Chains A and B, each alone.
Chain A
Amino acid sequence: MAKFQISRRKFLTAASLGASGIMLSGCDAFDSQLSIGGGLRGFLENANGLTYHAQRLLAGRDALAPEFTEADIRQPQRPNGVTAPDDDVYKGLLANNFADWRLEVSGLVKKPLSLSREQLMNMPSRTQITRHDCVEGWSCIAKWTGTPLSLVLDQAVVKPQARYVMFHCLDTIDRSLSGDIKYYGTIDLIDARHPQTILAYGLNGKPLPVENGAPLRVRVERQLGYKMPKYLYKIELVDGFANIGGGRGGYWEDNGYDWYGGI
């Protein structure tokens, strides 16, 4: 009995020393294990897949994000990310009020498209007052008007092997040794064909301003803001994204954010 208690006490002492060691050394104890590609991180990231599948199961294809009323629009839509692209191509297009801008639809489609802003605006539109949730934690309610992405996809006729829609943007978000990195991102075809997923050209009843992504940005209302690229110029249908950028499906994803931004 005495022996039992001593070993127990020793165990407890060691355990509490270990625990306080973690506390004292600060939480950098876990830092090295948590970088992208790290073993522990890879294991923890499995939970993202679980979240994705669980939420897809619960929400299905067509469950709608909550929509709000005009009274809920209490302020201009807060811009984030790049708010004034410094790219010459973009500045040239802006100087001409985007008259020369085209939306290219390419990749795994039977009929590649090149659409002017006027052509997009002549297609059936959808207007929705929704809440924009930033991954940082803030929210902002605004009214968005645009062309349902599904209509554009139908017009281009998506090939059966396509799995994701990749958005290519005009803004340089980062610079690396291998050159400028333009913002890009991907969503699956379920979100791409969701009734509230629109290519927005209007905000709060006015043309989309530069800081919010003029001439065209995506709205993916069941996901966070970083899944809604701005300054669009090309939509590419792909069967995967392993060979693009960091291989994780988007600019922020390559920097450690989850590909699925529904939570």
Chain B
Amino acid sequence: MQSVARSQSTAGPGAPASSDKTLIYRQSRWTRLTHWLWAISLFFMLLSGLQIFNARPQLYIGKQSGFEYNNTVFAIGAENTDAGPRGYTEVFGKRFDTTGVLGWSGPAGNETARGFPSWATIPSYYDLGTARVVHFFFAWILTTTLLVWLVASLVNGHLRRDLAPRLDDLKRLPRDIVDHAKLRFHHTREYNTLQKMAYGGVLFVLLPLMIVTGLAMSPSMNSVLPFLNDLLGGRQTARTIHFTVMLLLVAFFVIHMLMILAAGPINELRSIITGWYRTDPPVHEDKTAQRSA
């Protein structure tokens, strides 16, 4: 219950005047601010990124794109068939019909050949130049936010207190997996093991990898860090990794949303907007009590 004591000492002006011991101050203003800056920049980076991808809806492995040889691992395209134009998606040479979404999409009767559909891109029409403007603007925001978060979290203890893995986390992992699978959530101040892995994975693996593979695609950065593409397996491999990490971030977003809905959206949203979070009432001989002990 140390966390409650802490919460009272750090209670800001927005703190509810309540003696309610289950309501704790869980997320610092730095965590909340950076969370929403990421949410906004990732939204715009995803949609402008899909537009950029549409300019060349193929992914390759290696230093260059194979035109006279085949190093394509992923492709979205359109083809004419007896039944009219169809959209397809090819993964490692295996072709799937994705008409209506990938390859061939648009309002009925007005479909066009395009990689990702217009509802998933910014701008909605084909415009690579504008998508690049949007993408690189938010790339600066995203990267700056990550650095600000890192410094703030080192200073205010968020990293050490909430994210640093402990031996205990390993022991809790099997139980955590079972709890999540049964949608049985414990509302405590601490993150559970799967949460730590998900947040830590995004912040320390996926986002840095996204930034590094993004920089590796820049011809000017290649003159500054020539080893980067050698390390990643070539510029086209870097582009493929960039795309794959995007898929993982989208997967994280989907699971993140589902977990919030399942764990109680009002309480979860309140904590990431105001910082205040309602924990489970202490129950004797309950596992939740052991957790927050």
Q: Are B266 and A28 in contact (CB under 8 A)?
A: no
Q: Are B134 and A140 in contact (CB under 8 A)?
A: no
What is the predominant secondary structure among interface residues of chain B facing chain A? helix
Q: With A133-B219, A133-B235, A135-B128 in contact, do A41 and B133 touch (Cβ < 8 Å)?
A: yes
> Which residues of the other chain, B, contact A72 by a CB distance below 8 angstroms?
63-64
Closest residue of chain B to A257 (Cβ to Cβ) is B129
Task: List residues 8-65 of chain B with CB under 8 A from any CB of chain A.
Answer: 16, 18, 47, 52-53, 55-56, 58, 60, 63-65
**Which of A58, A64, A74 neighbours the largest number of chain B CB atoms within 10 Å of its CB?**
A74
Q: With A64-B223, A222-B223, A262-B219 in contact, do A31 and B124 touch (Cβ < 8 Å)?
A: yes
Q: With A27-B120, A28-B124, A140-B65 in contact, do A50 and B55 touch (Cβ < 8 Å)?
A: no
Question: Is B224's beta carbon under 8 Å from chain A?
Answer: yes
Q: Mark B214-229, 1 if CB is under 8 A from A, else 0.
A: 0001111111101001
Q: Are A34 and B118 in contact (CB under 8 A)?
A: no
Interface size on B, residues (CB 8 A): 53
Question: Is B236's beta carbon under 8 Å from chain A?
Answer: yes
- Which residues of B does A touch, CB under 8 Å? 16, 18, 47, 52-53, 55-56, 58, 60, 63-69, 118-125, 127-130, 132-134, 136-137, 139-140, 217-224, 226, 229, 235-236, 239, 265-266, 269-270, 274
- Which residues of A does B touch, CB under 8 Å? 1, 4, 8-9, 12, 26-28, 30-31, 34-35, 41, 44-48, 50-51, 55, 58-59, 63-66, 68, 72, 74-76, 78, 131, 133-141, 221-224, 252, 255-258, 261-263
Q: How far is the CA of A59 from the CA of B47 in the complex (A)?
A: 30
From residue A173, how far is it (CB to closest CB) to chain B in Å? 15
From residue A222, how far is it (CB to closest CB) to chain B in Å? 5
Q: How far is the CA of A48 from the CA of B136 in the complex (A)?
A: 7
Q: How far is the CA of A222 from the CA of B217 in the complex (A)?
A: 11
Q: How far is the CA of A223 from the CA of B224 in the complex (A)?
A: 13
Partner of B56, one of A138, A256, A258: A138
Instruction: List 16 A-B residue pairs with CB atoms under 8 Å apart, sorted by A's residue number.
Output: A8-B270, A46-B137, A47-B139, A47-B140, A75-B67, A76-B68, A131-B63, A135-B55, A137-B55, A140-B64, A141-B64, A252-B129, A256-B127, A256-B133, A263-B219, A263-B221
Q: How far is the CA of A134 from the CA of B55 in the complex (A)?
A: 10
Q: Are A74 and B66 in contact (CB under 8 A)?
A: yes
